Amino acid sequence: MGTESNSGEIRALVGGAAGVGILSHFRPDGDAIGSTLAMGLVLEGMGKKVWMWNEDKVPMRYAFLEGAGKVGGIPEEVPDGMELLICLDSGDVKRLGEGGKRLLEECSRAGIRSINIDHHETNSRYADFNYVVNGAAATGCVLMGLFADWGMRLEKGVAEALYAAISTDTGSFQYGSTTAQVMRQVAELIDCGVDVGDINRRLYQEQSATTLAVQGEVLREMVVEEGGELAYYSMPAGKKEELGAGLEDTKDLVDIIRVLRGVRVAVIFEDLENGFIRISLRSKDPAVRVNDIAAMFGGGGHAMAAGIRKKGKLEEVRREVLDEVREALRKQV
C-alpha cells in the first residue's frame, strides 16, 4: 500500500514529469475513457509527452471525444521518456488487466513512480501515491476537483470528456450519487462549451442493431425471483458469437433489467469462455450493498453498482452468487 497524497503532491509529481503514461481499467466505461482523455488533454496542454492506454478498445460510444484515437493497447515495454504512470478509475491492480498489472510492475522495477486516482470506496491503494475520494460520484468529479485546485482552465475537449465521465457514472444523473455538487460541476462544464443535447444524443441515443438484438435476448431470457425483487440473466458460452455481438454490445446489460418495477437487485452473468465468469450487480435499495456481495468473491465497486470476475463454470458461479444475493434481500425484508 502506497502513500495517501493530497492535491498539491499530485500536482508536484505531474509537474516534475516530462513524459506521463495514463492507464484505466479494462472493459472501459465512460468514466474510465472520459477521465483518461481529460487527464491526457490537460497534460498535453502543459507540454507533457503523453501516452494513453487501455487493455480494450475505446467503445464506439465514446469515439467522438477529442483524443479518443490516441488511446492504444498496453505496450510490452515502458516507453522511453516515460517518468510517471497515472492509473485512473481502477479500484485495484486486477482492474488494470494483465497488461496493465505488468506495466505497473515494470514501472516499479524501473523506479518510475505511479499515481492512483479514483473514487471507489474499496480502492486498495496499490500505487506509490494514491488520491482516492471516497463517495465522489465519478473519477471525472475527482479530476475536476484536482484541476480546479491546480488553477486549470478547461478547454471544450476536456469539458466534454469530463461530462461523459460524470454523466455515465451517475446513470445520466439518475443515481443517488447525483448531488448538488455534481450538478454544480456539470454547470461549469456547460459553461466551458459542452452542448448537452448533442453529447447526450451521442452517448445515449445511438446504438447498433446488434446491441438492440442482445438487449432483446436479455429481456426474453431473464429470470425474475424473490417475489419480483431479483432479476438476472445468464449469457452462456457461444451466445455472443451466435448474435454477432462484440464487447461493446454486451456492456451495460444489467441496466436493461434493473429498470423492471419491483426489482431491488439485478445481476448479469457472462461466460467469458476463458474459464472466467463476469458478473455485474446493481442494487436499487441502499440497504442491499452489492459491493459487499462482490467482495465475497474477490470483486468490488460501489454500494449500488459492483462487479466480479470469478473462475468457474457458469452454473456453479451463478448459484454461489445468487445465494448471497437472495440472503441479502431476505435480511432486508
CATH code assigned at 236: 3.10.310.30
Residues 92 and 164 in one domain: yes
List pLDDT tens digits, range 306-321: 999 999 999 999 999 9
- Supply the mean pLDDT for the chain: 95
CATH code assigned at 99: 3.90.1640.10
Q: Is 220 exposed, middle or buried (0-12, 13-18, 19+ CB in 10 A)?
A: exposed
Residue scoring higher pLDDT (251 or 27): 27
Residues 229 and 187 in one domain: no
Instruction: Give the strands of the sheet with 49-53, arranged side by side.
Output: 3-4, 129-132, 113-118, 84-88, 19-24, 49-53, 71-72
- At 244, the amino acid letter reads G
Q: Is the CB of residue 155 less than 8 Å from the CB of residue 128?
A: no
Question: Beta 305-311 vs 300-302: how paired, if at all?
Answer: antiparallel
Residues 261 and 178 in one domain: no
Residue ending a domain, choose from 173, 204, 235: 204
List pLDDT tens digits, range 272-328: 878 899 999 999 999 999 999 999 999 988 888 999 999 999 999 999 999 999 999
Which are the contacts of 168, defined by CB distance < 8 A and separation ≥ 6? 29, 30, 31, 34, 138, 203
Question: Beta 305-311 vs 276-283: how paired, if at all?
Answer: antiparallel
Residues 16 and 81 in one domain: yes
Taking alpha carbons only, the member of 170, 35, 34 closest to residue 115 is: 35
Percent of the chain with pLDDT over 90: 88
Residues 156 and 287 in one domain: no
* Rounded-to-integer distance, Cα 172 and Cα 215, Å: 19
Q: Is the CB of residue 215 less than 8 Å from the CB of residue 256?
A: yes
Residues 173 and 253 in one domain: no
Q: How far is CA 55 from CA 30, 102, 202, 313, in A?
A: 15, 11, 23, 24
Residues 165 and 59 in one domain: yes
Residues 178 and 226 in one domain: no
Residues 42 and 153 in one domain: yes
Q: How many domains does the chain have?
A: 2
List pLDDT tens digits, range 177-222: 999 999 999 999 999 999 999 999 999 999 899 999 999 999 999 9
- At 279, list the grid cell: 458478473
Whole domain around residue 311: which residue ranges? 209-331
Residue ending a domain, choose from 146, 180, 204: 204
Q: Is 47 exposed, middle or buried (0-12, 13-18, 19+ CB in 10 A)?
A: exposed
Residue ending a domain, choose from 204, 227, 247: 204
Q: Is 9 exposed, middle or buried (0-12, 13-18, 19+ CB in 10 A)?
A: middle
Residues 161 and 307 in one domain: no
* Prediction pTM value: 0.90
What number of CA atoms fall less than 13 Å from residue 258's CA on the CB side? 19
Residues 42 and 78 in one domain: yes
* Rounded-to-integer distance, Cα 3 and Cα 69, Å: 33
Residues 77 and 181 in one domain: yes
